[in-house]
Structure 1
């Protein structure tokens, strides 16, 4: 009798699990179809044009690039921004768009808000997001997987009076590849759509470009770290410039004080210059090439790097060679990633903080 009961129990348990098995198979099939659809959209026109010697399928590639050159959002940019909202779950197997559940909780955010000072560098990461899987494997060096997928600059309070300072150095690229000052109408659109006021704000570069965002919105993530410049920046030797600083600017003057006069710079004056740079670049496009180190379009890390361009060498922040999965032949490029900031930082009070080194003011418990 007990044997029969065990068999019946096993049968019903298996019967109950059958719908979940079919659901998993359905989700797996859906992911395969989605993958094939994306591959078809990206490769299909080219293969069609080559196979049948047609010219018009190439327009499906040319039109997005033409839009991009004219400063309009391209289908590729919109698609990449959408991919960034997808999160992968193993149990059950599925992909969810912007699930809204994160490991950084209210207590963490309160601790962060107490620590923050203008000029702090914020690093964040997400678990399970599709784009984050690849960004982490591009951020590390060698076969090391990175912790973070995004970097931003904390600017503190932004008032309505700051709006007129936004987008003042917004540039667009002409057909010849030259960067020209953007029309005033485009600058006004950036001030209207990408600038926002608030008591605790960040400025960062994402798919929609460089924009301002409330710190509470920014903290919706799974990993977070707060980095800070030292109180004093000291001159060092062997300077290498990656951004050409314009004579007469604050950044050029500070660089010359370090380079020629060997003077010290205070953290406050460096931060003031960085915040001014961040505001002036609101509206700048995202760098989907992820490695150009241009002055006028940025990935998230390139943007923070640009804002601190006058002292990048002195804090040990230099572009490094990165590649996907650590394979030198796969998407290899010299650039800055979120984990590069973390790698040159030291815990405060550990005795490891060298001169000019960033310090970690706060980090979530899951970061190793």
Structure 2
């Protein structure tokens, strides 16, 4: 155990060193952007003062140089001022790196989409979302799809519906921390209380998911700020099946243990509501758990976004076809290989939109945004 702990410590130091090393060219880029921004301000000042200086020194002939950009800048606007103000409205400034982007675009999930999402959602639904243009999303999509296929989504979450203040005391109930020997034990009460205070949020329509800050609750309206989104739902009834694979050791007396016992021993059908109730209890209890930055382990104490959803439905994962798959970057077997669950794995086992019920126990796509294939 001591050797394992030392190895993990050295690995963390190496990751920190590499992260710092990678940020060096980023800060050079920041400086370059700052210089470019300063040059742009000087250029704008010259544009303002330029006509007067040109007219005084060279006559009005060179003022024709302003005609072409003026015509292009008008582009159907009723006046130069209107054209300028319309253009200003397309600019977005960023602090780091210091730069200004013209027409950066907005999230593709619009108001009408959000209304449709709010109307369609039921507690226990799985949410998948994606973003355009993010660097990490580029790699996640190329790790998420199976067989080298580029995925659609970069994140997964569990919709839990209404969370009340009285449920705060249930949050972080199953939070765990690692000791010096590398063992994962129940977290001390002060750590649980901190997670309840900072990462639990009551609300009418809430999502629980795992991101960089760990497992936390978030309002659905905040979650919907994205470019692609899909809603997946369990079938009305989960039926028993042969060939069960247990990847989590379920504790006797827990809701998920009872679910699995019904399916494997008494071979009873499980109604969706019962599976959802168990998943929500699991999700609330894991608030505060760390994010799994190694992205390739099926554990019960730290999670990627899709591993967290997988964990919440661990009592029935086999019966809905949700099992870890082999993934690698760009589909190259030796490049960042891992056995895990990704957002697109959840989508891949789902029946297409418009499917009322699935006898194969598949998840059902009840809504998805345009452009998802």
Name the TM-score class by shorter chain: 0.7 to 0.9
Q: Kindly indicate whether the alpha-carbon contact (under 8 Å) linking 2:327 and 2:337 is maintained by their aligned counterparts in 1.
A: yes
TM-score, with normalisation over the residues of structure 2? 0.73
Q: How many Å separate the matches in 2 of 1:346 and 1:96?
A: 43
Which position in structure 2 is the counterpart of 1:38? none
Which position in structure 1 is the counterpart of 2:341? 336
- In the alignment of these two chains, the number of paired residues is 292
Q: Kindly indicate whether the alpha-carbon contact (under 8 Å) linking 1:64 and 1:75 is maintained by their aligned counterparts in 2.
A: no
* Deviation larger for 140-149 or 342-351: 342-351
Secondary structure of 2:250 counterpart? coil
Which position in structure 2 is the counterpart of 1:256? 261
Structure 1 residue 353: Cα displacement:
3.4
Secondary structure of 1:236 counterpart? coil
Q: Please provide the CA RMSD for this pair.
A: 2.9
Which position in structure 2 is the counterpart of 1:355? 360
Change (3 A) 1:310 1:145: same
- Of the candidates 161, 170, 187, which is equivalent to residue 165 of structure 1? 170
Structure 2: gaps of 5 or more residues = 1-5, 27-90, 98-103
* Correspondence list, 1:215-294, <5 A: 215-294=220-299
Q: Deviations over 1:145-170 (max 9, x none)?
A: 00000000000011100100100000
Change (3 A) 1:243 1:74: farther
Q: Kindly indicate whether the alpha-carbon contact (under 8 Å) linking 1:64 and 1:74 is maintained by their aligned counterparts in 2.
A: no
* Correspondence list, 1:183-222, <5 A: 183-222=188-227
Structure 1 residue 221: Cα displacement:
0.4
Structure 1 residue 354: Cα displacement:
3.6
Change (3 A) 1:74 1:251: farther
Structure 1 residue 256: Cα displacement:
0.9
Change (3 A) 1:100 1:309: farther
Structure 1: gaps of 5 or more residues = 1-58, 84-91
In the alignment, structure 1 residue 320 sits paired with structure 2 residue 325: yes
- Of the candidates 132, 135, 138, which is equivalent to residue 130 of structure 1? 135
Q: Kindly indicate whether the alpha-carbon contact (under 8 Å) linking 1:123 and 1:151 is maintained by their aligned counterparts in 2.
A: yes
Which position in structure 2 is the counterpart of 1:8? none
Q: How many Å separate the matches in 2 of 1:237 and 1:96?
A: 56
Q: How many Å separate the matches in 2 of 1:188 and 1:65?
A: 27
TM-score, with normalisation over the residues of structure 1? 0.74
